Chain A
Amino acid sequence: MQTRYTITALVENRPGVLNRVVSIFRRPGLNLDSLTVGRTDRPEVSRMTMVLEGTKADAQHVKRELNRLIHVITVEDMNGTPYVTRDLALIKVRATPKTKSEILQMCGHYRARIVDAAASSIVVEVVGEETEIEGLAGLLQPFGIIEMVRAGVVAMGRAENVLDTHCERSSWAEQRFSLEKAS
């Protein structure tokens, strides 16, 4: 049965890590539906959120293999624990003086903002769960979506469900990190 799995990971912020992670999905031919990577409060640690459309076995395979990677610090399957997700989209939609107010009204329902306005189009920024973004995009479709870009899903567990960036520090790892930054 196909399910959406949201997997988060803390990884070392080093060259080649993304390649290693993505390779885990590529090998069995799995499609990464969404992937975000960014720094955390520690410069040497990055955090990834991966969304996979697949079976339970696919998700287990991915988690298992991610854990084997030397540069992956922690892996967490968010499914099954309470968590929040956010995605961000910019949607450039055709807008005439006649349709503009109707579009603005719809954006209001989704707490979306207008970040650019031109003679015949506006750019809408919407932040929310994937379903909210898809909801707004659906409503805007009839007006004519010119282009759309999404930042990708970020996820975080609620309350005590924490991916701890204050994981073990070692003098070895810190020396390595500073050498790489220096070069």
Chain B
Amino acid sequence: MELSGAEIVWECLIREGVDLVFGYPGGAILPTYDSLSSYPQIHHVLTRHEQGATHMADGYARATGKVGVAIATSGPGATNLVTGLATAMLDSSPVVCITGQVPTSVIGHNAFQEADITGVTLPITKHNYLVTSVEELAFSIREAFYIARSGRPGPVLIDLPKDVQTARTEFHYPTDEIRLPGYRPVPMALEEEVDRARTLIRSAERPVILAGRGVLLSGAVDELREFAERTETPVGLTLLGKGCFPEDHPLCLGMMGMHGTGEANHAVQESDLLLAFGMRFDDRVTGNLATYAPKARKIHIDIDPSEIDKNVEVEVGIAGDLKETLAELLDGLDPIDHGDWIQRIRRWRDESGERELLNQVLQSPVLKAAEVVHDLWTLTGGRAITVTDVGQHQMWVAQYYAHSPEHALITSGGMGTMGFGLPGGIGAAMGRPDEEVWVVAGDGGFQMTMAELATAVQEKVKVNIALVNNGYLGMVRQWQELFYEKRYNETPMVSPDFCALAAAYGIPAARVTERSQIEDAVQRAQEHTDGPFLIEFVVEQHDVVFPMVPAGSDLHDMIRRPKPEVAQQKEI
């Protein structure tokens, strides 16, 4: 059957299991959009900005585990994808972007709306393609999906010149097994390394597991739990690992790192064996590398061999699939107990409890963001998909919302992309329409991509938006308060009346200024099933996320919330 390049695009997407794409049309991608009407199996979501399309595809991918697809035109359409691609790259999210390109005859001539997008995105994609002939197109698309979803997932871009979209060729979808000579997506763990790891585990007295997003990506949740329980090893979580281990489990330490719990960071620093599972020792997790876990030997298991020994040198590095490797590791590992170590961690945890904001009698009636997130957690039973933006509210969600594998946290961790929240949440909600989805965003990040409210309305996406408004770029303000002698340059922010703004889009909204109003507003949002609902939470302006390890400081060197006077402690 002879088809045009444009038709081949859709034919291939359908064969890759795609039924939903996010995009924005324009001149160089018009042939592809023109043939869309022949493919009713594909639902196209018109975003309000191409960045929104990539974040939606990313949010969709993270919520479903499937590949998210974003489409844009050449030039500015393509360059607008850059932030979204970089976000997906750093968090290993499988996204395929298709961009229009000027005709092959004028590439390199600075034609209208021409940008060298394969050049621009080379370092922020797992791979990219410039398709120069229609005969290659089906191969490139199949390969792109394979690369995006296999091994350590990541974004792939396909640049498609206009004449390749209109050229015609006989269409066969290549079904041969894809084997690329330079790409081994899942390395085989070496048996002798697994043996060495087992020996270290048996002799450890103060082990700690560092669990990252790789646990979720490889589906190793059950193996992790079995491992932790059999070896009585406490589990610290990375931001993107939230959800991979039950947070109410006695062995769970909560999040590690810059805004991690006191017990997690102290345990890492005092540990004699770190077990890094599907994580990459990001600087936000380790603090100062020179003093990081100085007494610990280290075992690192990751599917990407380039992560082994990259930031932290390890005694045993195993490149392989985590689920399989953990199963192998467990085979031949008898129960071990670490009662003394657990006791010691309990004392750190109790001390954290004394400092905990929610255990204190607050002097000020002003609403705290921590209260908002905590109550959102209880009111949703912990069963909502939470998608955050970036900043203080993001850390409070990490600290006060307990996640589970089915409802893991969706957030821009590596890139820290402000503006991710709303479009990411729309993508997640469209991928899992039967789930309750909450976007939690600050007033700063929300205003970066709030144009996507119109997309949510047009698509009638049931997404709840918790807008935590403190009138500042809160996290930057916090750094200014702590490290720049309270010079609040360019962080106070004037915002629109968010409820009136929502009304302009036809979105129902509520404003909450006191804790007692939270339950009613959340219930109203939950009962509103026909499109988005926005709640503006007006919160304490000068709040600080504690604990905090200043950038580059030793991990145990945390700035803690002061302990309250005894009289102000709640009876617990």
Contact = CB atoms under 8 A, between A and B. Distances in A.
A171 B176 contact: yes
B180 A172 contact: yes
6 contacts: A68-B306, A70-B180, A70-B183, A73-B182, A172-B177, A180-B136
A72 B182 CA distance: 5
A172 B182 contact: no
B27 interface: no
B123 A183 contact: no
B127 interface: yes
A73 B119 contact: no
Contacts of B123: 23, 27
Contact of A168 (B127, B178, B179): B179
Interface in A165-183: 167-173, 175-176, 179-180, 182-183
A125 interface: no
A131 interface: no
Contacts of B135: 179, 182-183
Contacts of A169: 181
Nearest to A19: B122
Nearest to A170: B179
Interface in A15-44: 15-16, 19-20, 23, 27
A69 interface: yes
B531 interface: no
A60 B182 CA distance: 18
A71 interface: yes
Nearest to A168: B181
A64 interface: yes
A12 B182 contact: yes
A4 B438 CA distance: 54
A79 B484 CA distance: 47
Contact of A172 (B147, B179, B305, B309): B179
A64 B307 CA distance: 8
Contact of A70 (B174, B177, B182): B182
B139 A176 contact: yes
B118 interface: yes
Interface of A: 11-12, 15-16, 19-20, 23, 27, 45, 60, 64-65, 67-74, 167-173, 175-176, 179-180, 182-183
Nearest to A11: B182
A83 B179 CA distance: 31
Top 4 A-B residue pairs of the complex, sorted by shortest distance between their CB atoms: A183-B133, A170-B179, A73-B182, A64-B306
Interface string B154-189: 000000000000000000001011111111000000
Contacts of A71: 182
B495 interface: no
Nearest to A17: B182
Given A27-B123, A67-B306, A183-B136, A175 B118 contact: no
A179 B182 contact: no
B132 interface: yes
B179 A179 contact: no
Nearest to A69: B182
Given A60-B309, A176-B139, 19 more contacts: A20-B122, A23-B122, A45-B181, A64-B306, A68-B306, A70-B147, A73-B181, A167-B181, A168-B179, A168-B181, A169-B181, A170-B181, A176-B136, A179-B139, A182-B133, A183-B132, A183-B133, A183-B135, A183-B136
Interface string B129-151: 01011011001000100010000
A169 B181 CA distance: 7
